[in-house]
Structure 1
Amino acid sequence: MSTRWYPRYAKGNPQLRVFLPNFFMKLIKPDAAQPPNVVQFIVSMEMSKFDVKNYLEKIYKVPVDSVTTYNKMGKTKRATVGGYIIKDDDYKLAYVTLPKGEVFEFPDLFPEEKDVEFEKQKEHLDTLKTEWNQVTKKNQNRKGVPTWLGL
C-alpha cells in the first residue's frame, strides 16, 4: 500500500489531480521452470486478479490472457537473542499468462560489453598495484613514514 493519500477537499483549495495506483508489483524469477509465456510477480495483498490484469494492460500495455493469484505465508525463524519466533510478512504471488505467441525473457542486466570494460579497469588496477608495490619497496626500512616525506 502506498503512502499517497489524497487530501480532503477544502473549499477554495485546488484538489490534487494525480491518479497513480496505490499498488506495487515486483517481477521475480520463479523457483520452478515455467512456460515461456508465464510471468511471476509479487503483488500488493490488496490487489485482485482483475487489478493485476488492468495494471499491466492499462499502465504497461502488456496483453494478458489470464491471472492466477496465490497468498503465501511469510517465513518463520527463531531470533538469535531471546529465542522468540519472528515471522516475515505474508505476500501474494501472481502468475500472469501472456497470450499464445508472446514470450517473456528477463532483461540481460550484465551484457558482454560491460565485461570488456570491467577487464580494462581490472588491468589498470593491476598496473597501479605494481607501481604502488615498487614505491613501497624503496621505503621498506622507513615503516610508518609516508612516502611523500622523502629525504
Structure 2
Amino acid sequence: MAGRVPRLLPLWKRAIPKYPLYLEGRPQNRVFLCQFWMKLIPDRTFELPNDRVHFEIHPQMSILDVKQYLEKIYNVDVLKVRTYRKSGYVFKEDSIEMEQQQKGRIPPVKVACVQLGGEHRFTFPDLFSKKSMGEQDNNMKDLNEKLDLAKNWERPSLPPWFS
C-alpha cells in the first residue's frame, strides 16, 4: 500500500510514470500528450535580454526534455538550456500578514533558463498599465452595447424590457 498514489494529490506533484520499454515484436509505443509541464515565469532579480526566458518546470524534466519540449511542441529554436533547483522556504507567521491558508512552507521548484535561437524573442506584456486599462474599458463598453443589441435578435417585435 505504500506505493499507491493518493487520489487527491495534484497533477503537478505526482511523479511521471516511466515510459514503457519497447520489446521486439510488439507495436511501437507512442505518447500523444506530453506528461510534463512548464510555466513561464519572470525573473525578478534582474532584467533579462530578449532572447532569454525562465521556466518553472516539472521536477523530473531534464535539460534534453526542456529543449525537445520547446522545439517539438512550440517550434522554437533553443540554443542553450540550464537548470537549477530553487530552494523552498517557510513563512514566519508573525513577520508577514497573510491569510491562514497562505502561511506555511513554499516547496522547492526546478527552474530552467533557456536561451532562444534564431529570430525568436520574448518580452513580457505590460498587463496593468494605465493606457491598456483605458482601452479595455472602451472595449468593454462597446462589447456591452453589442450584447444589448443582440440580446433579442430572435424576437425583434418585442421590446427589450420583456427579456
TM-score (norm 2): 0.54
The correspondence of residues 1-151 of structure 1 with structure 2, limited to 5 A, is 1=12, 19-31=32-44, 32-79=46-93, 86-99=104-117, 101-107=119-125, 109=127, 111=132, 113-118=135-140, 120=141
TM-score (norm 1): 0.58
Overall identity of the aligned pairs, in %: 41
Structure 1 unaligned spans of 5+: 7-16, 122-151
RMSD over aligned Cα atoms: 3.3
Q: 1-side partners of 2:126 and 2:42: how far apart?
A: 13
Instruction: Give the number of the structure whose alpha-carbon radius of gyration is greater.
Output: 1
Q: CA offsets, 1:49-81, max 9 Å, x none?
A: 11100100011111111011110011211346x
Structure 2 unaligned spans of 5+: 1-11, 19-29, 95-102, 143-163
Q: CA offsets, 1:66-114, max 9 Å, x none?
A: 011110011211346xxxx942211011111012543212346565642
Runs (4+) of structure 1 exceeding 3 A deviation are: 1-6, 107-113
- May I ask how many residue pairs the two structures share in their alignment? 109
